[in-house]
Amino acid sequence: MRRRDFIAATTASAMLVVTPLAASVGNGTGGRVVRYALAARATKQRLGPEDAPETDLWLVNGVSPGPLIEARQGDELEITFTNELDVPTTMHWHGIRNLNAMDGVPGLTQPAVEPGETFIYRFPLKDAGTFWYHAHNKGWEQLARGLYGPLVVHEAEPDSGPRDILLMADDWRLDDDYQIHEDSLGSLMDWSHQGRLGNWLTINGASLPDIQVPSGKVRLRLVNAANARSLTFQLGAGADAEIVALDAAPCTPFRTDGFRIAPAQRVDLIADLPEGATSLYELSGGQPFEAARLIAAPQAGEAAAPRPAGPASASWYPRPDIAGARVVDIHMQGGAMGNLTEASLMGEMMPLRELATDHSKMWAFNGIVGGYENLLADVARGETVVLRIWNDTRWEHAMHLHGQHFWVNSREFGRAEHYLLRDTYLMAPAERADLVFVADNPGDWLFHCHMMEHHAAGMGGVIRIA
């Protein structure tokens, strides 16, 4: 990775900016309406060292990552979103079990927000946890330019203040002038392989930031906002940590030697940090690479423990019994060195070469190049559904289902298997997995690979819940 040759430290504290539109107000049902104003705009921010030029980016409210949105479980969130770009866009609220009309998928759940237009998103927050928001129009380009930010829904009780630390990671592909590498946007080489991998790592929008934290127990919320790179993190010597939630959903706490986060996934850790500096290392390049430093110091008069993760049985709903469940088979094919020779696009069968060269498509579900017209299943509300996935490709895929979480027997943490409630699951080449959920959220919901280039090149479809 080229970033290893020229990445440099900064002394920024990498603070996240909160910009509410107005004070929260009651909603008449015991909760609050929490309002924010967000705007997508072209702006500059320095991603490189202090002597590097600023990078031309598309950001939310002019900062990378976008403003931290915070609310509590039971609140309603109201976002006034304005598009100040020259291209259409929308915002998707990743991991929220949302109202379908508020999900932010242009052409499926809403029209695109055109330049100069404003759209108001308003939806209830059913679940506490770590979420994020990001553009969902040409996501392969708009995420690569920086259109995303974090969203944290706290439990109804008071939060843990400075002991709640959010770390949002991204790998950018920059040229020698620290600008977005324009020539690689839309590269069929990337689209047919793992996706558009970057060469410059940031945490909270900064290179190797020093982040001030309390010593002792803290909750670390990690988000992977990268287009395609799965990131592997490990805390330095002296720190003790266990995973307590994945994709916002609580899990039975467990420890692992390093933890991998696919694009769009989130990992919550309860970490015990000694006083002084603890390095956060990233390992996907084969060697430990220092991504950030957590500078821990005692906090006078402040509670010693973070917000509890909740009991192991506190998942949002129990793992369903799959006896009599609706089984939906999804055969994933395509990509470089794959076995897909032809597929259907808009009802017409085409050889793979024609799909790639004429339409920039090279992935398929069940022999069909994905689009919003590709209805994978039409199920009744309340049915138990098993998405029986076969990754019959040479590449990993971060499979994301909008509007629901699903149970999966995860193989993402080494040899040990864990039954987990997730919204995005990283599938290994040749892996077969069952994603199990109760279809209790009506609407047309996108199911796609969150390696954004894979989605753009055909790896997507729709689950309809009547």
| φ and ψ at residue 178, rounded to 5 degrees | 65, 30
pLDDT at 5: 38
pLDDT (tens digit, 9 = 90+) per residue, 394-411?
999 999 999 999 999 999
Burial of 6 (0-12, 13-18, 19+ CB in 10 A): middle
Mean pLDDT within 161-190:
94
Is-contact 398 426, C-beta < 8 A? yes
pLDDT (tens digit, 9 = 90+) per residue, 218-236?
999 999 999 999 999 999 9
| Of 179, 198, 160, 158, nearest in space to 44 by CA | 179
User: Is the pLDDT at 101 greater than 50, yes or no?
Assistant: yes
Tell me the fold of 326-465: Immunoglobulin-like (2.60.40)
Amino acid at 95: G
pLDDT (tens digit, 9 = 90+) per residue, 339-389?
999 999 999 999 999 999 999 999 999 999 988 999 999 999 999 999 999
Is-contact 348 437, C-beta < 8 A? no
Residue linked to tokens 């977005």: 180
pLDDT at 195: 97
pLDDT at 305: 55
pLDDT (tens digit, 9 = 90+) per residue, 242-264?
999 999 999 999 998 889 999 99
Tell me the pLDDT band of 417, cut-offs 50, 70 and 90: confident
Mean pLDDT within 114-120:
98
Q: What is the pTM of this model?
A: 0.92
| Of 69, 60, 63, nearest in space to 151 by CA | 69
pLDDT at 14: 39
User: Is the pLDDT at 442 greater than 60, yes or no?
Assistant: yes
- Spatial CB neighbours of 196, under 8 Å, sequence gap ≥ 6: 140, 144, 173, 184, 185, 187, 190, 227, 228, 452, 453
Tell me the pLDDT band of 12, cut-offs 50, 70 and 90: very low
pLDDT at 30: 61
User: Is the pLDDT at 21 greater than 60, yes or no?
Assistant: no
Mean pLDDT within 85-114:
98
Is-contact 93 102, C-beta < 8 A? yes
pLDDT at 13: 33
Mean pLDDT within 184-193:
96
pLDDT at 162: 75
Mean pLDDT within 298-309:
61
User: Is the pLDDT at 28 greater than 60, yes or no?
Assistant: no
Tell me the pLDDT band of 303, cut-offs 50, 70 and 90: low
- Spatial CB neighbours of 112, under 8 Å, sequence gap ≥ 6: 88, 89, 90, 106, 137
DSSP secondary structure of 213-282:
EESEEEEEEEEE--SS--EEEEE-TT-EEEEEEETTEEEEEE--SSEEE-TT-EEEEEEEE-SEEEEEEE
| φ and ψ at residue 115, rounded to 5 degrees | -55, 130
Cα 88 to Cα 14, 105, 188, distances in angstroms: 29, 12, 23
The mean pLDDT value of the chain amounts to 91
Is-contact 140 187, C-beta < 8 A? no
Lowest mean pLDDT among 154-158, 167-171, 312-316, 423-427: 312-316
Mean pLDDT within 196-206:
96
User: Is the pLDDT at 23 greater than 70, yes or no?
Assistant: no
User: Is the pLDDT at 10 greater than 80, yes or no?
Assistant: no
CATH number of 3-297: 2.60.40.420
Tell me the pLDDT band of 307, cut-offs 50, 70 and 90: low
Mean pLDDT within 124-143:
97
CA dist., res. 454 & res. 334, Å (int):
10
Mean pLDDT within 172-186:
96
Cα 89 to Cα 30, 70, 83, 283, distances in angstroms: 33, 23, 7, 33
Strand pairing category for 416-422 and 406-413: antiparallel
- All CATH 2.60.40.420 domain ranges in the chain, comma separated: 3-297, 326-465
pLDDT at 430: 97
DSSP letter, residue 376? E
Tell me the pLDDT band of 4, cut-offs 50, 70 and 90: very low
pLDDT (tens digit, 9 = 90+) per residue, 266-285?
999 999 999 999 999 999 98
pLDDT at 20: 46
CA dist., res. 84 & res. 113, Å (int):
10
pLDDT at 26: 66
